[in-house]
Amino acid sequence: MNRETLEVDVLIVGGGPAGLSAALRLAQLQKGSEPLSIAVIEKAPQAGAHQLSGALLDPSTLKDLIPDFAAKGAPLSTPVDNDNIYFLTQDGKVRLPITPPPFRNHGNYIISLSTFTKWLAEQVEAEGVDLFWGFPGQHVLYDEAPREGVPYEHADDRRASRPGTPKIIGVRTGDRGLGKDGKPKAAFEPGADIHAKVTIFADGVRGHLTKQLYRDRQIGIAAEPPVYAIGIKELWDIPRDRLKPGTVIHTLGYPLREEEFGGSWLYAMGDGRISIGFVVGLEYRDPLFDPHAAFQHYKQHPFIRSILAGGQLVRFGAKAIPEGGWNTQPQLYLDGALIVGDAANFVNSERLKGIHLAMRSGMLAAETAFEAIRSGNTSSTALASYKARVDASAIKEELYPVRSVHQAFGGGLIAGSAYAGVAMLTHGKFLPELSGTPGHQRMRMIEDYYGLAKRDILVPSNAAPIDRKVTFDKVTGAHYSGTHHGEDQPVHLLVHTEVCHSICGSEYGHPCVKFCPANVYEMVDDGAGGRRLQINASNCVHCKTCDIMDPYGVITWVAPEGGEGPSYDGM
Amino acid sequence: MILVIAEQKDGKLNRASWEAIAAAQQLSAGAMPVKVAVAGHNVSGVAGELAQAAVAEVIAVDHAALAQYTPDAFVQALQQLITQAAPAMVFFPHSYQTRDFSATLATRLDRALVTDVIGVTQSGGAAAFSRPMFQGKLTADVVPQGPTPHLISIQIGAFRADAMQKGASAASVATAAVKIDESTLRQKPEAPFQEAKQAVDLSQAERIVSVGRGIKSQENIAVAEQLAKAFGAELAASRPICDNGWLPMERQIGSSGQTVAPKLYVALGISGAIQHLVGMKGSRTIVAINKDAEAPIFEVADYGIQGDLFELAPAIIAELQK
């Protein structure tokens, strides 16, 4: 096989805010000295296409990274004007008389993360950094000398994901032109090996390469288990005079029960465009709970409906959110590698913000990598200063005090709120370190949750009415995500198991069908009296929820062919 | 003058060329002459066929280097043709071939290009072109700016070929001389091949019977096949059918399959997810057969039959065979 190899100084895997901030910082640092070769690879076909967030931007890191961001046209057109927080009951709402400090957004901006990322990519490109859109990383490459007598190709493949081997030397990108059966088609092009002195993993929440590091290099062994949530988002165009641009509304309560963590956001962006979304902790107990259905129930609430009525759905998307906080950060450095942004779980789940932390970690990783390359030592000893930089930075300052807030919500809304309150008042001193359980382990079996009598139920406990005006089914949502995958390629959701049609039905009632927001998973008649799993991979919006939430841990998300996936213009 | 660039391959005219001519005729409404050009080698037959249309002139662009399509040769030839003819607008059918070369051509000419146009209107002296955005959810009216000619590609199926006006007598056929420097052609076409042996081009079919999940099992595909045969139609399917391997992937209609606009589209047991609808909603007449009266397919159907397809299909076949 003719596999191309590319040698660079720094390879950044992922073109989101963390990866692009790393690239830009490197470009800034090398100015006036011998230039570094920097490459950024990203699975999306163009900048911002796979970027989705609420989003509220705390501009603190941006001010440090690009001090003249306003002159450079940063798309921060909507400053937050007013904050509102409501507790919803089934038909009513109670406005919280004061907005708790973490929810106060004065000085922040309502942005489209996709648009912001596009702009950030322009700043990076202007510095002459090569951005490779449409190239997903598929395997972490380790430095293991090929063994005697083993043909190079085989040694190469083994090197591509081998546990316990010493140094990370880069990433292999995904193959193009494989057929559904996994065999090369006429236009087959093998992925390239990109070798780098330092590889910065910025592959986002539950990054599929960072996941390989969790497996191969046990980077999570000293950390709390990561905890995630799923965020489902829509853009709507509503009559312009309905909400003042800059209005921020957060809700708690309905349709979630006390046992489910989550809430909603609604941000008015100007010109009648609003961002509306719903977040649910991926640690719910009810195996038939359906986050997408919860979002539809939420949109049917009289208060929310009154905002959306007569409006038009413009875009749909979903993304997991790393909610676990400071204590869930993995080991951030390895021989030849650094981990940044969502991949390192740098999100403040109390303030509902992570973009500025992702950018900050990217900057710090760039400074570390720059120093290491200039000194000619990119071993883990040299790269360990990244951790020291993070510990001395605004990241720790912000995340440490609220380190167990999300875990506290595992004890329910009231306990969680009390914990959050104490954390806020004491800046995180005197608090017990709470340990989270991986979310998928909290899901209970049907029998356990619903009792023996209901073990065959298959209707979600929160099935949503679909009116195709305000509420839509998942397939329609997938359409509005603009997602596209060629049908004739290997399925990019690996489910190598028999559990789906053997025991999952009676144990959990096929929760994948429920938690996937894009109708990727379906149980269909197998024509022989049973049911089989059908994976509609072309609907996938790359949210990673299945990789996280499946109770047996048997679903593995890998990158589809480069350039495919959602199209999150404006999201 | 509007110049329509017709498309042919091996002397066979692409049907979509008639649609582009119809679009040009609609915009001109007799006020502006319409000419048609066709590029290739030995294209006099196709040029004669095009002369049936009510157009001012047919221009044959004949060159040995155009015998097989390459973007470089076509861009060179069309750039010279457009410069010589100096039209106000150039229309193309939005075919795969047009998609391949039109951006380069527009850049070489340094002129505006509006692609995938579904409607043309003349208002206040400026022509506006409608094109879909957000996968057909919104339609934008685009008024191209800058010096003419403006390059416009017309979505396949958006205009009706049979709305094209024929001339009382055949239009005159002229030949345009173009120079192609073969040493500058960077592509060298090899013999064409089809990856799948039985590949079908459903976009050229006039009638399609399309089958969805309602068919339940692979054995039942025969029911749809018989119905297609009775209609003299091509057989197509929604995604789940092809995903199951019950029909080959090239027969899939929808956002991840083919987009079609036949005269007759019979949707058999297809619920009508939006992903399917975007691939067939341009069909002239849509007949939907489905058990579920709430199925979204009925919202786009001209004729809807709520019922069991296993009862209805044989009845329709029997009726057609009378």
Tokens matching residue B151: 């390059």
Better-predicted residue by pLDDT, A116 or B294: A116
Residues A470 and A308: beta-carbon distance below 8 Å? yes
Q: Is the pTM of this model over 0.90?
A: no
* pLDDT in the model for residue A159: 41
Instruction: Kindly report, residue by residue over A553-565, the tens digit of the pLDDT.
Output: 999 999 999 999 9
Mean pLDDT along residues B243-252: 91
Angle subtended by helix axes A17-29 and A113-126, to nearest 10: 20
Residue range A187-194: mean pLDDT, rounded:
91
- Which positions in chain B touch A525 (Cβ < 8 Å)? 216
Single-letter code of the amino acid located at B239: R
Q: What is the pLDDT of residues A136-167, one digit of tens each?
A: 999 999 987 444 443 333 344 444 444 445 79
Query: Cβ–Cβ of B239/A487 closer than 8 Å?
Result: yes
The answer to whether A369 and A10 are in contact (CB under 8 A) is: yes
B245 → chain A, closest CA residue: A180
In tens, the pLDDT along A334-358 reads 999 999 999 999 999 888 899 999 9
Tell me what pLDDT residue B196 has: 54
For residue A458, pLDDT beyond 70 = no
Q: pLDDT tens across A49-85, in order?
A: 999 999 999 999 999 999 999 999 999 989 999 999 9
Segments of A18-99 assigned E as strands: 38-42, 56-57, 78-79, 82-88, 93-95
Residue among B135, B195, B244 minimizing CB distance to A482: B135
| Tens-place pLDDT, residues A111-135 | 999 999 999 999 999 999 989 999 9
Residue A412 pLDDT > 70: no
| DSSP conformation letters of B233-291 | -EEEE-HHHHHTTSS-GGGBBSTTSB----SEEEEES----HHHHTTTTT-SEEEEEES
Measured between CA atoms, the residue of chain A closest to residue B299 is A468
Task: Write down the pLDDT at residue A485.
Answer: 92
Return the pLDDT at B157: 86
Contact A538 B256 (CB under 8 A): yes
- Give which of A468, A479, A520 to mutate to test B binding, by max B Cβ within 10 Å: A479
If you average pLDDT over residues A383-403, what whole number do you get?
A: 95
Give the residue on B whose Cα is nearest the Cα of A568.
B134
Sequence-distant (6+) residues with CB within 8 A of A560 are A136, A174, A485, A489, A492, A537, A540
B residues 230-259 lying closer than 8 A (beta carbon) to A: 239-240, 242-244, 249, 252, 255-257
Predicted local distance difference test score (pLDDT) of residue A393? 97
- Name A105's Cβ contacts closer than 8 Å, sequence gap at least 6: A56, A80, A83, A248
Nearest CA distance, A181 vs chain B (angstrom): 12
Please determine, for residue A536, whether its predicted confidence score (pLDDT) is greater than 70. Answer: yes
Helical (H) or strand (E) element with B48: helix B44-50
* Pair of tokens at residue A242: 């309905």
The predicted pLDDT at position A157 comes to 45
- Option in B134, B216, B274 nearest A314 (CB): B134
CB atoms A186 and B252 under 8 Å: no
Taking only the tens place, the pLDDT of each residue in B59-102 is 999 999 999 999 999 999 999 999 999 999 999 999 999 999 99
The residue among A538, A468, A234 whose CA lies nearest residue B296 is A468
Cα–Cα distance measured from residue A26 to residue A41, given in angstroms and rounded to the nearest whole number: 15
- Residues in chain B closer than 8 A to A564 (CB atoms): none
Task: From chain B, pick out residues whose CB is under 8 angstroms from the CB of A468.
Answer: 296
pLDDT at A160: 42
- Among B246, B274, B297, most A C-beta atoms within 10 A, so best to mutate, is B274
Structural domains in chain A, sorted by start: 1-75+111-223+330-403 (3.50.50.60), 408-433 (no CATH), 439-557 (3.30.70.20)
Q: Is the pLDDT score of B234 beyond 50?
A: yes
Distance from CA of B250 to the nearest CA of A (A): 10
Quick check: B202 and B208 in contact, CB under 8 A? Answer: yes
**Model ipTM?**
0.73
Query: Residues of CATH 3.40.50.1220 domain(s) within chain B?
Result: 202-321
C-alpha to C-alpha distance for A117 and B317, rounded to whole angstroms: 56
Does the domain formed by B202-321 have CATH 3.10.105.10?
no
Long-range contacts of B242-246 (CB under 8 A, 24+ apart): B242/A487, B243/A487, B243/A534, B243/A536, B244/A534, B244/B218, B246/B215, B246/B218, B246/B221
What lies within 8 Å, CB to CB, of B111 at 6+ separation is B146, B147, B148, B149, B150, B151
Write out the CATH class of domain B2-184.
alpha beta
Position B251 confidence tier, pLDDT thresholds 50, 70, 90: very high
3-state helix, strand, coil in chain A (%, to 5): 30, 25, 45
Residue A207 has pLDDT above 70, yes or no: yes
Distance of residue A509 Cα from the nearest chain B Cα, in angstroms: 22
Name the segment(s) of chain B with CATH classification 3.40.50.620: 2-184
- Answer whether A179 touches B (CB < 8 Å): no
Asked whether the beta carbons of residue A534 and residue B240 sit closer than 8 angstroms, the reply is yes
The nearest CA of chain A is from the CA of B275 a distance in Å of 6
Higher pLDDT, B30 or B284: B284
A475 touches chain B (CB under 8 A): yes
